[in-house]
Structure 1
């Protein structure tokens, strides 16, 4: 008997990392790794579920920056070459490891896996957005949108026009790319404040996703906590992240990905094999980087690692997916006793967790969905919009401003390490608004420059840059990106206002930062 619902939601996002000016870009490999380790394996799982006639529904956000890169012919060409090189390396590894039977078996596994990824990629005409569109059309995948470049909106609302521009551009890009409007939105970093309500309503969006405490600490306090959506005064629904299901996957102590039979992320042949052998498959400057071929399992907490055993890992996947299923079943059983309508358990995760950090993650998703269909469960897998179509009644509350970052506030994205960037972002935003309000009838060249200025501002506003700087990973690159886009914006602003636009310079940056070909600078107008 169906007593409730479970909604799996995968947030798919990467910053805009497109560098045609470089022969080899380390940052573009972030995208290529995401395609090989997360998106293509997830697509293969969806294909199997459809072939097996499994009645399923799952939700994915695909942010406008990621969608733009997945649609980009230049990046697809580079990824195709990356995948071919990976297959070539896997062939060499079969030869190199032939005297070690156990290791050679893992080498063969990678070779067959990479070939299957290439076959899937080719089957969608070397563009995986074709795959996501297919599942969207079949009704098994609900794709939701996000803001244009994943800017942390509450920290940009000093100039509300720039928040509107981020949201309108994200909405428009989704609609043009998929052929229909989105029903829901993933607010970047689940960051919410009250200024967003009216804009979301204007766009006709039905729901957004929040960190759990954004719902549980709403005013008035909702009766059902995160087990049912609440409705804002503007009429948009907010779904809160379920804490229990989140810990089972995310927790570094009890989370499934830490099982000792799963693949060890931190051992890769790109760092371990002789340079003259591995050189064609790492950065052209000689920097050692991940190749994706990792031969060890987690094993234990020490430095001693044993070879990866795919069969043992798949047994653990089955165990963990069944444990996750039974946990949701028990959760639904208990919660439903105290509710006058069926509960919904929202399970949102970063897509990149599944496959990149947790190599077996896409297999876990596939098994959980399949088992939820075949086992005697008391819930149905649905999307948030499916739930709203059947249960429109909800408590009207004011959600609590929050994020899903550390501390649940905005401190990851504004702190002493990265607060310097906001004065530049706010100042540039005011200038962009002034341009939009001033130029009512621009020439063709002025319009190109105005549109490019809007792109540069949006790219500078990405929440990825302060996040990277805070975590001190590739902080120099993130700082450079902010400064580069702000400098380009200022150069364009000066050229436009002084009527001295250098068309060759404009053409150069249009080719480099070519996100959102249909952008219209007028979305920054104050009367929008």
Structure 2
């Protein structure tokens, strides 16, 4: 490991990595559950994180460093004009609900009304173009923005047809380059899932680094000299960073970590569950569901939701600042123990789902802001993965181990009794499409059919639906999504094989509805 970087007075480095992803929301899906997922993430996570990073950059520009992956489907949504035009009315609906509350509840939710308006003002000031905000921070080096697989496909279950994996990765790279005007060097593997040989596909696509769960590094061959505290490099030339569980547990765990503190906002008590259905329906919301309107605190995890006390924002912010200091102090002590010699400066890699910060843990962005602003006090150099590799450290050559960061550490969460039926369905579709792509396209209509079939195949491969089926939440929605995209895929395949029977109305409708990846290239699926 190169001893010139970071400076000698620094104990080591900390790389916080955030993974931001949401599944594709089809056109005209207004007032849907999927639209709520997106808008709540924009309001509670993406805007607050941008504000925190920008605020820290003003005070501590050299140590304001984060890595963030923005999945291609999420970028397509943030770049969608219809969504940008719909967000204001979504905000107004929630403001209306809060302003119509009885006086006691309205006073308790005053902080929420203020925050709604504050985040909407930020949105208005950038004309809804959050991507440009991320781009500025990427260009300044404060952010290292990674790509992800195109539709967050779980790559190990696609390995029977390597071309389908190439389709996922190369579509993502092309989408990222189209938006950010630069090719990504790093990728977030969906669910940090890795299998032997994937590094060769990554390298050939131009990817040079990614992140695995800790055991993906620790079980490498040979066993890494520095464990997860330094990246390794595969024989194919891809660097792998390993998750440090000690750096993530205090944030991941609601029971053992910070997010479960009694002064923080209670996630499960939402006004959407408490308002009469008739009132929701007047605003175009057809079913009871969370609205993102929460103004009670955890209070005590053992009491019922009905007994939760009102949330006090200043109390929670003070606690988040305390927790940020406690986190930095613990990392400082950890780095001090790990510093084996003056020539070794350990690196702690702490990856999280971005939506944890703000959506699941409402105070999360404020916690991040305090980490960014105060890390210097604890002799910790914040870095991002690209910046670390630019220093040209000497990396040990190892073959990483198959792994994931899902429950059980491997692939069983995506191959089990609840969702294993998906695997043969998408495998068959992938094989058929790869074989079809061997043909030459003889006209623009053929290419149009192939392009849309590729989109439907990618959308059917999304790991979100497998995850939902295993978790047992909105399972009907997940099943419907998979079956819809596969039905459309096979209908398009039928048209490709039988040019005399083209249903142009069907083609036009799904082109409009599943309008994603405009620069899709069928060559990505060719052997």
Q: Does 1:31 align with 2:38?
A: yes
Matches within 5 A, 1:372-383: 372-373=375-376, 375=377, 377-383=378-384
Deviates more, 1:258-267 or 1:390-399: 390-399
**Residue 478 of structure 1: how far off its partner (Å):** 0.7
- CA distance, structure 2, for counterparts of residue 475 and residue 172 of structure 1: 32
- Cα deviation for residue 233 of structure 1 reads 0.7
Deviations 1:462-490 (A, max 9, x none): 11111110011111111111111111000
Gaps of 5+ in 1: none
Report the equivalent of 1:86: 94
Structure 2: segments with no counterpart, 5+ residues: 1-8
Secondary structure of the corresponding residue to residue 437 of structure 1 = coil
SS in 2 for 1:145: strand
- The CA RMSD over aligned residues, in Å, is 1.5
**In structure 1, what is the Cα distance between the partners aligned to 2:276 and 2:153?**
42
Tell me the CA shift for residue 339 of structure 1.
7.6
- Residue in structure 1 matched with residue 6 of structure 2 by the alignment: none
2:352 maps to which residue?
349
The residue that corresponds to 2:76 in the other structure is: 68
Greater CA drift, 221-230 or 194-203: 194-203
Pairing partner for 1:307 from 306, 310, 315: 310
Q: Of 263, 266, 284, which aligns to 1:264?
A: 266
2:52 maps to 1:50: no
Matching residue of 1:434? 435
Q: Report the secondary structure of 1:406's partner residue.
A: coil
Spell out the pairing of 1:335-346 with structure 2 (5 A cutoff): 335-337=338-340, 340-346=343-349
Return the match for 1:208 from 210, 215, 227. 210
The reply on whether 1:510 has 2:511 as its aligned counterpart is yes
Per-residue deviation, 1:26: 1.6
> Does the 8 Å contact 1:157/1:195 carry over to 2?
no
- The secondary structure found in structure 1 opposite 2:198 is helix
Q: What CA deviation, in whole Å up to 9, does each residue of 1:136-190 have, x standing for no partner?
A: 1222111001111110111101001101111111111111110001121100100
> Cα distance, 1:123 vs. partner?
1.3
Distance across 2 between alignment mates of 1:23 and 1:322: 42
Matched, 1:224 2:226: yes
The answer to whether residue 453 in structure 2 is matched with residue 446 in structure 1 is no
For 1:450-489, what aligned pairs fall within 5 Å after superposition?
450-489=450-489
In the alignment, is the contact (CA less than 8 A) between 2:59 and 2:373 conserved in 1? Answer: no
SS state at 2:348 partner: strand
Structure 1 residue 251: Cα displacement? 1.9
Alignment size in residue pairs = 514
Measure, in 2, the Cα distance between the counterparts of 1:16 and 1:271. 25
For 1:43 and 1:211, locate their aligned partners in 2 and report how far apart those are by CA, in whole Å: 26
Q: State whether structure 2 residue 320 is matched by structure 1 residue 317.
A: yes
Asked if 1:493 is matched to 2:493, the reply is: yes
Contact 1:226 1:240 in 2 (8 A): yes
The alignment's TM-score, normalised by the length of structure 2, stands at 0.95
Contact 2:19 2:69 in 1 (8 A): yes
1-structure distance, mates of 2:321, 2:359: 19
| Aligned-residue offset at 1:52 | 3.0
Instruction: Identify if the C-alpha distance between structure 1 residues 255 and 53 changes in structure 2 by more than 3 Å, giving closer, same or farther.
Output: closer
How far apart, CA to CA, are the structure 1 residues paired with 2:476 and 2:27?
16
Cα distance, 1:275 vs. partner?
A: 4.2
Aligned residue in 2 for 1:520: 521
User: Do residues 160 (structure 1) and 162 (structure 2) align?
Assistant: yes
- Structure 1 residues 275 and 428: alpha-carbon distance in aligned structure 2, compared to 1, 3 A threshold: closer
What residue number does 2:366 align with?
363
* Distance of 1:278 and 1:480 partners within structure 2: 24
C-alpha separation between the residues in 1 aligned to 2:351 and 2:60?
A: 25
CA distance in 1, matches of 2:350, 2:402: 20
CA separation in 2, counterparts of 1:466 and 1:240? 25
Find the residue that maps to 2:178 and give its secondary structure. Answer: helix
How far apart, in 2, do the equivalents of 1:235 and 1:198 lie? 8
Superposed counterparts of 1:377-396, under 5 Å: 377-396=378-397
| Larger CA deviation: 257-266 vs 25-34 | 25-34
Counterparts of 1:58 and 1:23 in 2: how far apart (Å)? Answer: 33
Checking the alignment, whether the CA contact within 8 Å between 2:27 and 2:512 is kept in structure 1 is no
User: SS at 1:144's partner residue?
Assistant: strand
Q: Is the 8 A contact 2:11 2:332 kept in 1?
A: no
Q: What secondary structure does 1:239 align onto?
A: strand
Q: Secondary structure at the match of 2:240?
A: strand
User: 2 CA distance for matches of 1:280 and 1:338?
Assistant: 66
Q: Does 2:136 correspond to 1:128? A: no
**Distance change (3 Å), C-alpha of 1:473 and 1:275:** closer
- CA contact 1:459–1:485 (8 Å) conserved in 2: yes
Q: Which moved more, 1:394-403 or 1:44-53?
A: 44-53
Write out aligned runs for 1:390-429 (5 A). Answer: 390-429=391-430
Q: Distance in 2 between matches of 1:314 and 1:348?
A: 23
1:15 is aligned to 2:16: no
Deviations 1:355-389 (A, max 9, x none): 1111111111011111114x2x2221001111112
* Larger CA deviation: 345-354 vs 246-255: 246-255
| Structure 1 counterpart of 2:182 | 180
Moved more, 48-57 or 124-133: 48-57
Q: CA deviation at 1:4?
A: 1.1
Q: Deviations over 1:452-509 (max 9, x none)?
A: 0000000000111111100111111111111111110000000110112222211100
> Aligned equivalents of 1:85 and 1:321: distance in 2?
34
Distance 1:475 1:265 in 2: 21
Shift of 1:104: 4.3
Does the CA contact (< 8 Å) of 1:106 and 1:308 recur in 2?
yes
Structure-1 separation of matches of 2:442 and 2:341: 61
Answer yes or no: is the 8 Å Cα contact 1:80–1:126 preserved in 2: no
Distance 1:442 1:429 in 2: 22
For the 8 Å contact 2:212–2:241, the answer to whether it is kept is yes
